[in-house]
Amino acid sequence: MMEIPENVKGAVEFDPYLKPYAQVLSERRYLADKWAYEITHATPDGSYQSLAKFSRDSYKSYGLHANPQTKEISYKEWAPNAKRAFLVGEFNNWDGSNHELKNKDEFGNFYITIPPLSNGDYAIPHDSKIKVKFQLEDGSEIYRLPAWITRATQPTKETAKQFGPTYEGRFWNPTEPYQFQNNRPVFNESHDSLRIYEAHVGISSPEPKVTTYKEFTQNILPRIKKLGYDAIQLMAIMEHAYYASFGYQVTNFFAPSSRYGTPEDLKELIDTAHGMGILVLLDVVHSHASKNVEDGLNNFDGSDHQYFHSLSSGRGEHPLWDSRLFNYGNFEVQRFLLSNLTYYIDVYQFDGFRFDGVTSMLYLHHGVGEGGAFSGDYNEYLSKERSGVDHEALAYLMLANDLVHELLPESAVTVAEDVSGYPTLCLPRNIGGVGFDYRLAMALPDMWIKLLKEKSDDQWDMGHIVHTLTNRRYGEKVVAYCESHDQALVGDKTLAFWLMDAEMYTGMTVLKEPSLVIDRGIALHKMIRLITHSLGGEAYLNFEGNEFGHPEWLDFPNVNNNDSYHYARRQFNLVDDHLLRYQHLNNFDSTMQHTEMKYQWLNTPQAYVSLKHEVDKVIAFERNGKLFIFNFHPTNSFSDYRIGVEQAGSYRIILNTDRQEFGGQNRIDENARFFTTDLEWNNRKNFIQVYIPCRTAIILALE
């Protein structure tokens, strides 16, 4: 009988199908634990330090730091391939001869401490431009933005003409740093619901422009609060020189994007959200980095293998993303990335992270080509011969989860963007899992779009819909969503567009009766959201604007659209126009979130599905004592329709998609009470009989 290694025993007991792969799982966990041991014991005196202390000490020593007591400025940079280093900027007229970094140590770290001016002021003025100049062994000189720079700005037109379009490093040292007023909301991962509003600050205005942090704080946060979401996932925050990359080509990892305002403005945004009881998650990109050289990390110290795998290794470049890939096995890379997480938690008060590109990180094939065809078979992930798993990237993700949960024991949220379904990804680290709290249910939007694209309503397969919505690994939580930013980008279409694109611009007025297209579109938009929300996962996500059926895709200014901002915006004005039907979808979304807040079905055990009727197109299930009934039939309404239910008693409707304020036809009497009959039906102990019109859904709860 095979002995189960102690370090994964909990995971194998939780999921016995893992038993044949226990040794593989053990080896993968061992690597992360080994690294954690090495990091936490890597002190000069050999004493123990936590991951939090290691990463905190690192971001407080590397990069530029001002000492408010002595007015000294310290700067530390890791550049092992460089021979000499000089700090240059406006403060010394770009002449670094008096500001050479001395003391290159055995690890390749350069240091300098700059004393204050004779009048006692800092030698480098706040927000002034700054760079590091390296001299290489061959005598050549290169200029870079410090790797740990905390602010980088777009060049002015004049500067761009003179020096090119590269971003400019800034020494950020405000005399009055922002002071946080509000405590973080407490989030209990074991029972609190998570309703995530995915947002991009720059597009958050009806005007064709880049929206600011301050405008988002003032105009969008109140909308999110009113809708009933309790978390925001902020996209494209880490500085990226190319706006149209949607934030996925990061150039400066410690600098929040200056397009939207200052670092202090971002702190105010997060603090204000906390005051509203809303968690704020950062979409963190540790899966790859921009290829930019002069304002990024690529070739930072003149070598191609400092932060990344070398190009000659075949692992240094992403095959599709045209970006560089981190060498997660390198101690200094671990320091840089782990410190990056701590920095955003400490300095900006983020409450957790949505890790981008986890599938790409997990596999040497990056989920591309034949390697990206996942069926769910455990061999695809855990077989030594077949899986192609990148053990170092996996170990880094384990350490990252250890760190975030150590820093935020009361409220941490980590979400993995993984399409592969890697087993144990969302099991706790201490039993042998990777440690994420949730993974994104990425198969759900694909299913809905495929249905709308390829099948008429009468061909929809109720069994297939239910299977896709409930097909998740036992005990591993998922964030359900019917569409995210991916489906809103140009080249794809949102659900509202798939449903109503023919009449989105002409048929949404309330001044005339809705056409068949609009009537169907509004009805299905609500039903798809509700069934995904209630059956598809333990948390829910919506991308901004999609809650009200935003009529246009998202396209950032680029050469193909003449640098236009016309589609790089969200038209919230449409919701506020009471002559348009967008308000109805918005009303429904808000009521759905508030109903969940009050009655809670997210983050409870999976639903029991009692009915999937292919002819009637009816689905019924119970979750956390609530009864959900969906009639997807395009034309057939049913009176006295028999639905099985476990608990006996008197039921009332708590949500009904057919209300007039939701753009419905008001066919359902919400004052009705439904009494159970003590007869078994569809494997439930009792049944009730309800009127369920075509294309409607209702939720019932015991009185």
- The residues annotated with a catalytic role in the active site are 356, 417
DSSP per-residue letters across 627-644:
EEEEE--SS--EEEEEEE
Sole residue written with tokens 């400019």: 168
Buried b (16+ CB within 10 A) or exposed e, 66-86: beeeebebbbbbbbbbbebbb
Is the backbone of residue 625 left (phi > 0), alpha (psi -120 to 50) or beta?
A: left
DSSP per-residue letters across 114-132:
EPPPTTSS-SS-TTEEEEE
Query: Measured at the alpha carbon of residue 663, what is the angle toward residues 662 and 669, in degrees to the nearest 5?
Result: 70
Q: Are 89 and 129 a contacting pair, CB within 8 Å?
A: yes
Tokens describing residue 503: 């009449």
DSSP per-residue letters across 487-532:
HHBBTB--HHHHHHTTTTTTS-BTTSPPPHHHHHHHHHHHHHHHHH
Q: In whole angstroms, what is the distance from residue 188 CA to residue 183 CA? A: 15
Q: Are 361 and 422 a contacting pair, CB within 8 Å?
A: no
Count of CB atoms situated within 10 Å of the CB of 3:
8
Q: CB-based contacts of 134: which residues, under 8 Å, 6+ apart? A: 79, 82, 83, 84, 85, 86, 141, 142, 143, 144, 301, 302
18 three-class SS: helix
Nearest partner of 344 among 252, 442, 465, judged by Cα: 252
| Strands (E) located in 237-371 | 238-239, 252-256, 279-284, 352-355
Q: In whole angstroms, what is the distance from residue 423 CA to residue 385 CA? A: 17
Beta-bridge partner residues of 656: 698
**What residue type is 12 in one-letter code?**
V
Q: Are 25 and 38 a contacting pair, CB within 8 Å?
A: no
Q: In whole angstroms, what is the distance from residue 476 CA to residue 427 CA? A: 6
Strand 279-284 relative to strand 352-355: parallel, antiparallel, unpaired?
parallel
Q: Are 546 and 202 a contacting pair, CB within 8 Å?
A: no
Answer positive or negative: Cα dihedral of 439, 445, 448, 451. negative
Tokens describing residue 178: 């922002």
Q: Are 388 and 365 a contacting pair, CB within 8 Å?
A: yes
Q: CB-based contacts of 602: which residues, under 8 Å, 6+ apart? A: 193, 194, 195, 533, 537, 538, 539, 540, 596
623 three-class SS: strand
Nearest partner of 225 among 578, 602, 597, judged by Cα: 597
Answer positive or negative: Cα dihedral of 65, 69, 70, 71. positive
How distant, in Å, are the alpha carbons of 196, 250, 473 from that of 192? 13, 32, 20
Q: CB-based contacts of 69: which residues, under 8 Å, 6+ apart? A: none
Q: In whole angstroms, what is the distance from residue 562 CA to residue 589 CA? A: 35
